A and B are shown apart, each in its own frame.
Chain A
Amino acid sequence: MNAGASPRTDADPVVSLTDAVAALGARPVLRGIDLAVHRGEVVALLGANGSGKSTAVRAAIGQVPLTRGEVRLFGTPLRRFRAWSRVGYVPQRTTAAGGVPATVREVVSSGRLSRTRLGPLRKADREAVDRALGAVGLADRAKDSVNALSGGQHQRVLIARALAGEPELLIMDEPMAGVDLASQEVLAETLRAQVDAGATVLLVLHELGPLEPLIDRAVVLRDGCVAHDGPPPKAVGQHALPGHDHVHPHAAPENADPIRTGLLD
């Protein structure tokens, strides 16, 4: 694909896993996978349940320790990586709510901690939270309890939380799982806006679905090994019809040079 075709000056991949091996308990989950995501790319990690795709993204952000191999983010080995504000993480949505209610705004604001750390929430931070809420279409629900939301709206909250830190890299674990069709469209639109603005995306998907036109490359895992790394698998059904071919607005390497995240400035 385009991103690998022309080596850039900052040729370091945004995310790279090299020979990554990880186990959950005694069960080996990753058996030595190589995965690189380059600047501006949208890479989908596909595979059956238990193929290791969630473990791979969680290893990429240091939440699963590797027993062999290396993870680098923005060219820095993970154990020395500190620039977490460049990363926006959307975990797999769990239905387990906390013991205390929280508003949409409170949850989204916690995404801003990657920039404020232990400091106060300033005006610029609150504005970033407002933008993140707007980006997922939940500005009018800011004061509502997250427990009152539907599954799809809850997923949008988690994405807004990741966007609140104005990251360059989005890592999403099954963002479409259990999401109604209307919210899927909103999510696809949100993601498209991020990609158009230069964001790099690594996401775990069960099926390509409405995100299909955005995906540059698919990595398919099987039993903890990379089974396919290349163009997204050909969709069947109406997605396979001619005329469904798509053009990526961010694909042209020549005008991709000054990378903006679009969120930062």
Chain B
Amino acid sequence: MDLFDYAFMQRALLAAVLVGLTAPAIGTYLVQRRQAIMGDGIGHVAMTGVALGFLLNTSPVWMATAVAVLGSVGMELIRSRGRTSGDVALALLFYGGMAGGVMIINLAPGGSTANLNTYLFGSITTVSPEDLTAVVVLALLVLAVTLGLRRQLFAVCQDEEFARVTGLPVRLLNLVIAVTAAVTVTVAMRIVGLLLVSAMMVIPVAAAQRLTKGFGATLAGAMVIGVVVSLAGTVTTYYVDAPSGAAIVLLAIVVFLILSLAATPLARRRARGTAPSPEDVASCTLDEGKTGTAASPTNHD
């Protein structure tokens, strides 16, 4: 396997593992509170940060992190107000961020919209050693929050009012979720890209819950799926010259479809286990002659 000999590939694979772990981890909480769109919005806003990095000749990753964090805090404040005008405010933020990015990058000396391309859709060859340091540090932060505070964040996302009555610092935890989502966007930016990062926050979670009954299991399953597809997608683009984000997201969709197909008979079997339908009773009487058939309506799994 010669692809592991290349330093750029080693960096890309490590970054891919971290993306596969972090994006579905924070994504599970966002999906739980039906806020999956947030990752998309932060991605748009982060474009301004990337462009500012170019313009000011500083690291686009750190600049994107700073702008994304500001944007996500703004989104959280809009969300917590719960006004009907919140939709419009979010649109202003999203598209302002995207337009700002395109405008600023063209102001940068020698900069053009083409510079943004690898940030929008991901690219395995562009993960520099400095990028990797930032990605590792930020990813560890995301994992510490999403796993270490999982019971608290679950409660906040599941029933915010109840969480407040338990005395949890709900406002602070909401900000923690927003900032963590922003940080995840910049972790994923190099591999999956800003426009596709939201897919990695949502699709592995949707795929995992075809098979799971609980939150913890969904979180773990989504992270496993995330790592598998982001590694596979990264390796794919070593052979196929395409943006890694596209390959990863398409693979995630394939996994989702496979698990959906697999889940249908599984759900049917589970339903049979709890409430035997007339068909099952019929098949049971047919099976009566045979010895020790597993499918009996009393057989709970």
Contact = CB atoms under 8 A, between A and B. Distances in A.
Contacts, number: 92
Interface string A181-194: 00000000000000
Contacts of B157: 98
Contacts of A116: 151
Contact of A102 (B34, B149, B215): B215
Nearest to A144: B213
Contact of A113 (B33, B155, B215): B155
A61 B34 CA distance: 26
A91 B162 contact: yes
B105 interface: no
B215 A87 contact: no
The listed residue with most B CB atoms (<10 A of its CB), out of A82, A99, A113, is A99
B158 A84 contact: no
B167 A114 contact: yes
Interface residues of A, number: 33
Interface in B32-47: 32-34, 36
Interface residues of B, number: 31
Given A99-B32, A101-B213, A103-B215, A117 B167 contact: yes
Given A101-B213, A101-B218, A111 B149 contact: no
Interface in B130-183: 149, 151-152, 154-155, 157-159, 161-168
9 contacts: A85-B167, A98-B34, A99-B33, A100-B28, A102-B158, A106-B215, A110-B151, A113-B155, A113-B167
Interface of A: 61-63, 82, 84-85, 87, 89, 91, 98-103, 105-107, 109-111, 113-114, 116-118, 121, 143-145, 148, 161, 165
Those 9 A-B pairs whose CB atoms lie nearest each other, nearest first:
A84-B167, A103-B214, A110-B155, A114-B166, A145-B213, A89-B165, A99-B31, A100-B32, A102-B215
